[in-house]
Structure 1
Amino acid sequence: MKKTILALAILSSLGGISSYAQVNKGGLPLSMILNESTLRDQKVETILYQAPDLKTVLKNDIAAQTINPRLDRCGIAVSTNVSFPESGKFVFVNGAMVWRAQIEIANAPAIGLYYNAFKLPEGVKYFITNENKKQVLGAYTNENNPSDGLFATEMMEGNVANLEIDIPAGTNINDIQLHVDRVAYFYKGINFLSQYSDKSIDDGTAQKPTDDPWINGSAPCHINAICPAGASLPMSRKSVARIVVDAGGGFFGFCSATLINNTTEDCTPYMLTATHCDEDNSTENSHFSTWTFYFNFESPLCGGGGNIKETNTMSGADFVARADYDSSSITIIGDFMLLKLRSKVPDTYGAYLAGWNRSSILSTADSFIGFHHPNGDIKKLSVGKNISSTGEFNQNPVTTPNTHWSLNFFTGGVEGGSSGSALFDKNGLIVGDLTGSPPVNACPEDTRPDGKFSKNGILYSKLSRNWEYPEGNGITTKQLKPWLDPINTNSTTLQPKLFTAACPTAPTTGISNTPKSELSNAVSIYPNPVTSGVVRMQVNLVKQADLVVTIYDITGAAKATYNLNNASKGEFTFDLSGYANGTYLMKVNSGDASTLKKFVVLH
């Protein structure tokens, strides 16, 4: 049975200040770990919401793009009313309670959940899975509790979200607060989610799906960030993130941002982006509570394909400083916004705080490079020369000259979603952030009706000018200097720094061993019994690990061994078509921990 509710696009209503990050704890929900009939047989009522009129949405998006610059829209909000415990059902199993609910947004290719109440007591775990359960988000715990109650979880494949709260014995359920007041209907920048779709190819060799989820998100003239042109600046590449902007007015959009270092080198997680990425010109912390930042959102190979690296997300930021933005005007004098993530970036992300160069004179002979997320796609690069200091953005007549760096790219380009991304000098130091470019499509191979790949006349708001932004009249929240040089060193340049708990100078691999209990709770196999000749293993680890999977028969003889390097999340398949009927064991070893899973083959 499904309850049908008419969807409305709504205005975001945010308030308060919080201190949290969307860093999940890994593991799998009890419904995927325990082979209990009470869980298998439970019928959860689907709460169905009608989809927005996508044709109208896309038509409005194209109209909005004629006003330059504008946020690159990627989704629309559907008003919902899903709450704990009213919207789901309980099951009691092994002394614990399991609460489950299901949300469906009709025909949505991808969705994201937004909460105006979120609080979990200690010991409680919250998970979200897509319809086929190949994508698992969580566990979210009390460590994710925002002080203002506002929370957001990352994009999920498909139109269904299964919500599960696992509640240990002795928990007062009145201490749990969860209310999903909006679901984002995402229609752009979602190709990477195809790895979790039933359409992904299952080759039965314990490898990840061979569908390439990294294609068709942006113009084909873009160049993957990992390509040789960017190989000399790995620290700069690892500082850049994609933002999913909760734009208010019922919309969501894409921009790019860069972690940036400050002279105390104390690991403050400042993010530099463009002020036009927030059309509301807000200075309230609550306004940025549900912005989501995607790190390591990139292909591992220059040409795409290969094993898909995990993406790491964090949600919520506080306002620090910005240039004023007037969304009714096409003119931009200064285009910077500085935010601070609400938690330090985990060292497993391998991220860097980018260095900067605030010089007002740059060599025209030098090459400059940008890393960015065009159209919300995986990270791309652009390389150019002959930089000019005389750029300005849509001033007619020109009243404030020389506000932007201008250059042409000979490799790659930019488009919507690239906004806010940094331009790096030959030493990998930030010199500006992207405002925009002429609204043309310079990619002949791009057949998209809304394609706007640009490579000439690219304009970056100058870091040197925004340092003590003249139009800010000395106000600290309208300039960069008080935040990026808080100890008044008057340095012209600052080097990048690896982001770890202690910010050491040497990088780490980001790969770690998994304790036994965590490994056991993070691995599940199904179906059981195996009747189709294929057994599937679902994994949801907190950190990447090199897993060795060995299958034994009942006598203890090893039948097959598989090495899964840098495994983290997703589904792996194993071909058992040649196995005789009987009982088998699957041993999963992470290096210092292992877990055994028993299954039966029954052809």
Structure 2
Amino acid sequence: MKELQLSLRILLLSLVVACASTLGTKAQVSFGGQPASFNVTGSENLKALKDQIIPLSFAKLNFNPEDLKAQNNWTEGEMATKPLIIGGIIPVDIDFAKEAIREELPSGQKIYRLRVATHSGARAINLYYKDFFIPQDGGELFIYTPDKKNVLGAYNYNTHSNHGAFATEILPGSEVILEYVLPQSSKEILPSIHIDGVNYIFNSHIAQAFSQEEQNTTKREVQDSEDQVDRHECVINVNCPEGDAWNAEKASVVQLFLVTKQYSGSCTGSLLNNTNEDFTPLILTAGHCVGNEPPLPTDAVWDKFMFSFHFAKPSCSNASYSEAKRIKTMVGCKPLAYSSVNKRSDGLLLQITQDIPLSYRVYYSGWDSSADMPKGLLGMHHPAADVMKLSYLNPPRIVNLGQWNDGSSLGCKNCHFAFTFNEGDTYGGSSGSPIWNQDHRIVGTLTGGAQVAGCHGSNLYGRLNAHWDRFASEKDLDDNVKPAMQTFLDPKDGGKIRKLDGRWREDARTVEPIKAVVVSADFTKKTIHVQWKDIDRSAYPSHWKLSYLIYRNGKQIDGVEFPAGTTSYSEPFDQALSDTNVKGGVSYGIVARYSFEGKPLMGPKGKETFTESTMVSNGIVLAPLVTHVKPNLKEDQNGVAITYKAPGNLQELSNFGYPEKEGEKLAVAQLPLPSFYYNVRGMFGTTRHYPDRGAIGSRFYVDGFIEPSIDIKDDRKQTNYYYVNSVKVIPGGKLEKGEKYNILVTSKDKGPKGVSELFDLPTGWQPGDWVEVFLKRPFRFDPRQSLVVALSMPNKQGKDAAGVAVVKTKEPIDLPISRTAIVLSDDNALLHIPYQYISRRPVEGYPAIRPVISSSSMPINTNEALGDVEGKIVAYSTKAIPTPKILGYKIYCNGELITKGQNGKDYYIGLYFYHKGGKATDKYEVEVVYAEPEQLATEDVAFSSSVRLYPTKLMEDGKVNLVNSQLVDRMLVYTMEGQLVKEIEKPASSVSLSELPQGVYFVVLHTEEGEITARIVK
């Protein structure tokens, strides 16, 4: 986003926040299970439950979300103390006991339920309580989204055993349901649940981070969105190669969620070790996170302070289909030490109110409070509330001492490190984040910096040396908050120990996924091969058992679990292609499972006997690729100039899959585009503006196109691009005379720019019919970015427009409509341009839109003659599958290879070749050569020293020619399904296959040197 190209700033939120003055059981402890209403069975019972009207408490907006977003902007090149705001707090007064409805389930179980909702523009919400207390009688509280895909709880007496303020975790969407389950044999004593605030969150990263739907066992992956730090060249994911040596420290980084009476925000901190090494949960962050100067806020707000660990992508990729790790959250803290940004070093030390569960697998980082100057630095942070990023400084770049000065706050002299990172910028939300020195010890916390053109802005980090004891002689703040940190970090020796290493608690470490997976195919044996690298187990406890689970097209293959040391898996084609939602290709994912043999880890929901890594996946196209392209010949007195164009291997993507039966018509319904507008504020008041057009579309996951590698991959060096060649869509209906539909295509790296194609419905079109719209200029996109495809139509003032058809699914989904009217059904995300939600409605399905992706930049019309660009759809899938990279072209003249020896290869690189001595009357073939490992999928001829077959793409006469046919004992021809259709003993130099129907065949030539296999296309 433009507003993320920042100036000199304090990188977080100048919020007024606080944590409780006494320790209690105020962490986010829940105990699993599911609401009693989820267990109701039987159609009549379910209908009765569904028809029950749950009371609704609606939190009306008391602010303009756009105004809060605007506060995240600042002017480039100027000093500023600007907040990163993620949402607004809507004050409410909701007493659960008074407003919830009592229900009795068929089992006799008694429950109370209440809905809490806000404006549909919210990406996520969470609830704040002025009192939260559940009686010690067995009652349980659950909180869940209306679609039941995201559930918090059970909360019981042990969650929060005293009356007082509290907060519950974030849930995606704009509405939640609270369900209180009474104990079976008890008086109906209701809990004291008094909600005083609803956090309206507009930051989509937060919604994604806390979405259980995208972190469940199906391993659905988290996509980027409009809140992304889009200057990808300026940020580095923590799991890029630069972070390989810092895996432990990653597990100590914490994302803080802060609240005031008006708004909520985010900054970054770190979990620290102490010299007692008793794993007291100490959090180090920036002082300005809670205010630039004392006094500190009231106690009640501290109980609503949240801490989340592990929000990071498992790979270096910024692609939209890249999983983020599950996050772990705690609630409630107490302030121990505070140093203001004004006249001080800008530090804050907190203590979470309850021990962090062992199952969270967090790392307690080491620190260095000495006056030593670091020789190298690495920082980790959550810019713009995004997944964790890193920044680093290496020699000869140096670190200087500095002083914070933004014009309104002046820090103490030499209390900051001042430097510029080699790589990786910081942004709003990075405030308070740690930097480690070359010895992996924390030496400072981020205050702010100056964003400049490019990616090398200056940064100022408050020194731990100054936080330590620089102001120890000054008096305590309110509530006995100390002005120095040394006695808390060194309780053993009162601050004399200046350096300490980090530690895992009881060796409860984070788990790593595999680095990459590669898929290849043996077309002769009709077998798929999946390969990956074994995980190094030396860093894990000896009693942990490692195994690998295999997923095909997102579903676990039953009964397939391999022990550590296994690095491959194979299966026949018929198994691989058994999924009707994928045609012409297949995708595989690998999940590493770590079992805690005999020593389970304790967590909030009981014992954990194992944990699993995130999935790493890849795929392969199995259908025949374009093997030959048409040569264009131009003869002169010395020879022939041969030109040709790169082929297009097309893939069709579908978010909703494909019918089980070929040709079966999809069940669709109309999704009209509601009339929408947004308010424009002017000098004389607010006016209502209706945009001319609106659009309904979907986001598509395309990072499956990234080139595979068996070794760790830094995909920032990715250079291959793909192209949207056409879009298939089912419009919602006919438009009025003179009106046209429009296909819109854009991607993450293009912003609002993209391509559009106006079109009319074809003659004879009927509702439910697909229309394929070919783009005159194919849209190029980077597979590391997300892709958005939408159908645009006129916005009707005061009435619905035709809209688009939706393919029905089992459960309804919400469609947010922005002022640009991009409606994304699959992930509720929008194009990253300024927007405002207008409405939201449940829809049972996905927009009927399918982009057709090409590997060629040339437009290809698969409905007409292909002309001089060869192209065809080779795969239909719900997930992008990498197309083999073109290495070059083999050129034959009258059956003889004429490119042999070019560039040391037997193929030619380029789209122009000059054949000296050739004539236009000669017979030329141009064969496409693809890269390994997919070469097995498209290699048309296996060469021996003397026997070869040509052409592999048969002409009209249906003949194939054999060079040195006298060396061939037998020739066998098979269909793709393995059926033998022709057998010839001692074949001649020319063999007719004219009697065979059109299709793809394998030819096996038996010679004294062995079998030679070729694939031919007729």
Q: Corresponding residue for 1:519? A: none
Aligned 8 A contact 2:69 2:85 in 1? no
Q: Corresponding residue for 1:100? A: 113
Q: 2:191 aligns with which of 171, 176, 191?
A: 176
Aligned 8 A contact 2:267 2:432 in 1? yes
Structure 1 window deviating more from structure 2 (123-132 vs 312-321): it is 123-132
Q: Corresponding residue for 1:320? A: 336
Cα 1:441–1:27 change in 2 (3 A) is farther
Instruction: Report the CA distance between 1:567 and its aligned residue.
Output: 6.4
Instruction: Indicate yes or no: 2:149 matched with 1:139.
Output: no
Q: Corresponding residue for 2:171? A: 156
Aligned 8 A contact 2:512 2:613 in 1? no
Q: 1:72 aligns with which of 71, 84, 97?
A: 84
Q: Which runs of 5+ in 2 are unaligned?
A: 1-15, 514-546, 550-554, 560-577, 580-588, 594-610, 615-654, 662-1018
Q: Corresponding residue for 1:50? A: 60
Instruction: Report the CA distance between 1:62 and its aligned residue.
Output: 3.5
Deviations 1:512-548 (A, max 9, x none): xxxxxxxxxxxxxxxxxxxxxxxxxxxxxxxxx9999
Instruction: Indicate yes or no: 2:475 matched with 1:461.
Output: no
Deviations 1:537-561 (A, max 9, x none): xxxxxxxx99998999xxxxxx99x
Instruction: Report the CA distance between 1:25 and its aligned residue.
Output: 2.0
Instruction: Report the CA distance between 1:194 and its aligned residue.
Output: 8.4
Q: Percent identity?
A: 26
Q: Corresponding residue for 1:491? A: 497
Cα 1:356–1:563 change in 2 (3 A) is closer
C-alpha separation in 2, matches of 1:414 and 1:85:
45
Instruction: Please give the residue correspondences for 1:437-448 in structure 2 after superposition, counting only pairs within 5 Å.
Output: 437-438=449-450, 440-443=451-454
Q: Corresponding residue for 1:23? A: 29
C-alpha separation in 2, matches of 1:425 and 1:80:
46
Instruction: Indicate yes or no: 2:310 matched with 1:296.
Output: yes
Q: Corresponding residue for 1:350? A: 361
C-alpha separation in 2, matches of 1:549 and 1:165:
35
C-alpha separation in 1, matches of 2:384 and 2:410:
30
Instruction: Report the CA distance between 1:21 and its aligned residue.
Output: 0.7
Deviations 1:305-352 (A, max 9, x none): 444421111110011111135xxxxx4531100000011111111101
Instruction: Report the CA distance between 1:284 and its aligned residue.
Output: 5.4
Q: Corresponding residue for 2:877? A: none
Q: 1:277 aligns with which of 270, 283, 289?
A: 289
C-alpha separation in 2, matches of 1:106 and 1:470:
47
- Which letter maps to 1:462? R
Q: Corresponding residue for 2:405? A: 394
Cα 1:413–1:14 change in 2 (3 A) is closer
Cα 1:63–1:563 change in 2 (3 A) is closer
Q: Corresponding residue for 2:385? A: 376
Instruction: Indicate yes or no: 2:133 matched with 1:119.
Output: yes
Cα 1:223–1:166 change in 2 (3 A) is same
Cα 1:258–1:87 change in 2 (3 A) is same
Q: Which has the higher contact order (CA 8 A, sep 6+)?
A: 1
Cα 1:150–1:350 change in 2 (3 A) is same
Deviations 1:69-113 (A, max 9, x none): 343211111112222222221111223211111111012222111
Aligned 8 A contact 2:345 2:412 in 1? no
C-alpha separation in 1, matches of 2:279 and 2:398:
31
Q: Corresponding residue for 2:954? A: none
Q: Corresponding residue for 1:257? A: 269
Aligned 8 A contact 1:350 1:510 in 2? no
Q: Corresponding residue for 1:360? A: 371
Q: Corresponding residue for 2:345? A: 334
Q: Secondary structure of 2:487's match?
A: helix
Q: 1:481 aligns with which of 486, 502, 516?
A: 486
Q: Secondary structure of 1:369's match?
A: strand
Q: 1:187 aligns with which of 180, 190, 202?
A: 202
Q: Corresponding residue for 1:238? A: 251
- Which letter maps to 2:189? N
Cα 1:505–1:493 change in 2 (3 A) is farther
C-alpha separation in 2, matches of 1:58 and 1:115:
25
Q: Corresponding residue for 1:596? A: none
C-alpha separation in 1, matches of 2:20 and 2:210:
36
C-alpha separation in 1, matches of 2:108 and 2:75:
54
Deviations 1:488-517 (A, max 9, x none): 17222101011xxxx325637599xxxxxx
Aligned 8 A contact 1:258 1:271 in 2? yes
Deviations 1:406-458 (A, max 9, x none): 121112110111000111012211001111002x3545xxxxxxxxxx64321
Deviations 1:573-592 (A, max 9, x none): 9999869xxxxxxxxxxxxx
Aligned 8 A contact 1:323 1:472 in 2? no
Cα 1:27–1:215 change in 2 (3 A) is farther
C-alpha separation in 2, matches of 1:479 and 1:408:
27
- Which letter maps to 1:69? T
C-alpha separation in 2, matches of 1:425 and 1:456:
20
For normalisation by structure 2, the TM-score amounts to 0.45
Aligned 8 A contact 1:286 1:318 in 2? no
Deviations 1:136-167 (A, max 9, x none): 22222222115352111222211111111112
Aligned 8 A contact 1:125 1:139 in 2? yes
Aligned 8 A contact 1:113 1:184 in 2? yes
Cα 1:110–1:64 change in 2 (3 A) is farther
Instruction: Report the CA distance between 1:286 and its aligned residue.
Output: 3.5
C-alpha separation in 2, matches of 1:268 and 1:15:
16
Aligned 8 A contact 1:256 1:373 in 2? yes
C-alpha separation in 1, matches of 2:29 and 2:488:
25
Q: Corresponding residue for 1:4? A: none
Structure 1 window deviating more from structure 2 (13-22 vs 252-261): it is 13-22
C-alpha separation in 2, matches of 1:399 and 1:244:
25
Aligned Cα root-mean-square deviation (Å): 3.8
C-alpha separation in 1, matches of 2:205 and 2:295:
27
Aligned 8 A contact 1:275 1:281 in 2? no
C-alpha separation in 2, matches of 1:478 and 1:226:
36
Q: Secondary structure of 1:85's match?
A: helix
Q: 1:311 aligns with which of 320, 323, 327?
A: 327
